Structure 1
Amino acid sequence: MSSYDASIAIAVGDSALRVEVIAAAAATSAQVTAVEDPRDFARYLPKATVIVADKLTAELVASHSRAPVLFVAADPGPIDYEAAMKCRSAEAFIIPAESKQLLSALADRVRPQQTSGNNFALAIVGAAGGVGTSTFAYAVASVAGAGLLIDATSYSGGLDLLAGIEEEPGARWPDLAAGSGSVNAVDLHRALPRVGELGILAAARSGHAGQPSIKPARREAIFQAAAMHPAGAVFDCSPLEIPQACEHVVILTAAEVRPTAACAKLVAELEAKQQKCSVVVRYRQWSGLSKEDIAKIVHRDPIAEIPTLRGLTKAADTGGLRRLPRGLRGAAENVVGEVLA
Structure 2
Amino acid sequence: MLDDPLLRDELDRAAAAVGVRVVHTSDSAAANRKTWSAAAAVVLDAAASTRCGQQALPRRSHVVVVSGTEPDASTWAAAVAVGAQRVLVLPAQEHQLVGELADAAESVRDQRLRGGVVAVIGGRGGAGASVFAAALAQVAGDALLVDLDPWGGGIDLLLGCENAPGLRWPDLAVQGGRLDWSALREALPRHRGVSTLSSPAPATSWIPGRWRL
Taking structure 1 as the reference length, the TM-score comes to 0.36
Q: Among 37, 40, 50, which residue is 1:3 paired with?
A: 40
- CA distance in structure 2 between the aligned counterparts of 1:135 and 1:180, rounded to whole angstroms: 33
- CA distance in structure 2 between the aligned counterparts of 1:133 and 1:172, rounded to whole angstroms: 20
Describe how 1:1-341 pairs up with structure 2 within 5 A: 3=40, 7-8=61-62, 16=72, 19=75, 34-35=79-80, 51-52=85-86, 98-112=92-106, 113-115=108-110, 117=112, 119-126=114-121, 128-130=123-125, 131-178=127-174, 180-205=176-201, 207-209=203-205, 216=210, 219-220=211-212, 223=213
Change in CA separation of 1:18 and 1:154 when aligned onto 2, cut-off 3 Å: farther
Contact 2:152–2:202 (CA<8 Å) still a contact in 1? no
Structure 2: runs of 5+ lacking an equivalent: 1-37, 43-59, 65-70
Code of the residue aligned with 1:7 in structure 2: it is S
- CA distance in structure 2 between the aligned counterparts of 1:163 and 1:180, rounded to whole angstroms: 31
C-alpha displacement at 1:109, in angstroms? 2.1
Secondary structure at the counterpart of residue 200 of structure 1:
strand
Code of the residue aligned with 1:157 in structure 2: it is G
Taking structure 2 as the reference length, the TM-score comes to 0.53
C-alpha displacement at 1:16, in angstroms? 3.3
C-alpha displacement at 1:189, in angstroms? 1.9
Residue in 2 that maps onto 1:231: none
Code of the residue aligned with 2:96 in structure 1: it is L
C-alpha displacement at 1:215, in angstroms? 5.2
- State the number of aligned residues: 153
More strand per residue: 1 or 2? 1
CA RMSD of aligned residues (A): 4.1
C-alpha displacement at 1:4, in angstroms? 5.6
Change in CA separation of 1:164 and 1:18 when aligned onto 2, cut-off 3 Å: farther
Query: How many percent identity over aligned positions?
Result: 28
Q: Which portions of structure 1, spanning 4 or more consecutive aligned residues, are displaced by more than 4 angstroms?
A: 95-98
Code of the residue aligned with 2:119 in structure 1: it is I
Change in CA separation of 1:187 and 1:133 when aligned onto 2, cut-off 3 Å: same
Structure 1: runs of 5+ lacking an equivalent: 23-32, 37-43, 53-71, 73-92, 224-341
Contact 2:122–2:128 (CA<8 Å) still a contact in 1? no
Change in CA separation of 1:105 and 1:215 when aligned onto 2, cut-off 3 Å: farther
Offset from partner CA, 1:79-133 (integer Å, 9 cap, x none): xxxxxxxxxxxxxx9x678522321232232124433755303122327334433
Contact 1:150–1:200 (CA<8 Å) still a contact in 2? yes
Offset from partner CA, 1:47-75 (integer Å, 9 cap, x none): x9xx45xxxxxxxxxxxxxxxxxxx9xxx
Residue in 2 that maps onto 1:313: none
- CA distance in structure 2 between the aligned counterparts of 1:188 and 1:178, rounded to whole angstroms: 12
